[in-house]
Structure 1
Amino acid sequence: MPNYQRAYTPGGAIFLTLVTFNRRPIFAEADNVKRLRQAVAAVKAEMPFDIAAAVVLPDHIHFVWTLP
């Protein structure tokens, strides 16, 4: 497995845009948004961060996360 370097700046902000495969509107379904929330919560439990902003659209999502 590769040893990726991670950029970490305490208090830094990260802007993420994630697009679904073939821009399928999977987040138009409430069950999939629930799964997304569960996945984000699982990641937060392992690696703490704060969600400064989040936008969930049918075929993509935007996040602004801040690091402790």
Structure 2
Amino acid sequence: MSNYRCNRIPGGTYFFTVNLYDRKSDLLITHIDALCAAVRIVKQQRPFHIDAWVILRDHLHCIWALPAHDDDYSSRWQIIKKVFSKFIPKTEYRSETHIIRNERGIWQRCFWEHTIYR
């Protein structure tokens, strides 16, 4: 198991890569309206600034700046993934593990984060 630790800096700027579970899927571009709505909802609840965002067929890259005294990007991603998953139809394959954990099987569980130092 890896020994990766997230670098958390209040008010920090971060580069993220977030992948779909099925890397052959095109859910992000076919349901881009649902993704945008999920992001809007989360930004209203837990504000952050989007510096850049690239949405590809099966993954996305973005740069966020969090408010001062806030380093919790993980819960924002959790909510974005959850809201997006609720907005789209249930057509994906679900493994036995997904079923046991009551997961949709849309997103990879982890995401990649890199701190941008200014």
Cα offset, 1:15, TM superposition: 1.3
Secondary structure of the 2:38 match is: helix
* Alpha-carbon distance in 1 for matches of 2:9, 2:55: 25
Structure-2 change in CA distance of 1:20 and 1:62 (3 Å): same
Cα deviation, 1:20-44, whole Å, max 9, x if unaligned, reads 1111121231xx1000000000110
Larger radius of gyration: 2
- Runs of 5+ unmatched residues, structure 1: 1-6
- Runs of 5+ unmatched residues, structure 2: 1-7, 68-118
Instruction: Give the match for residue 4 of structure 1.
Output: none
> Does the alignment pair 1:52 with 2:43?
no
Count residues with an aligned counterpart: 59
Length-normalised TM-score, structure 2: 0.47
Instruction: Give the match for residue 26 of structure 2.
Output: 25
More strand by share: 1
Length-normalised TM-score, structure 1: 0.78
What percentage of aligned pairs have identical amino acids? 36
Q: Segments of 4+ in structure 1 off by > 2 A?
A: none
> Does the alignment pair 1:9 with 2:10?
yes
Cα deviation, 1:3-58, whole Å, max 9, x if unaligned, reads xxxx3512x101111111111121231xx100000000011011111000000001
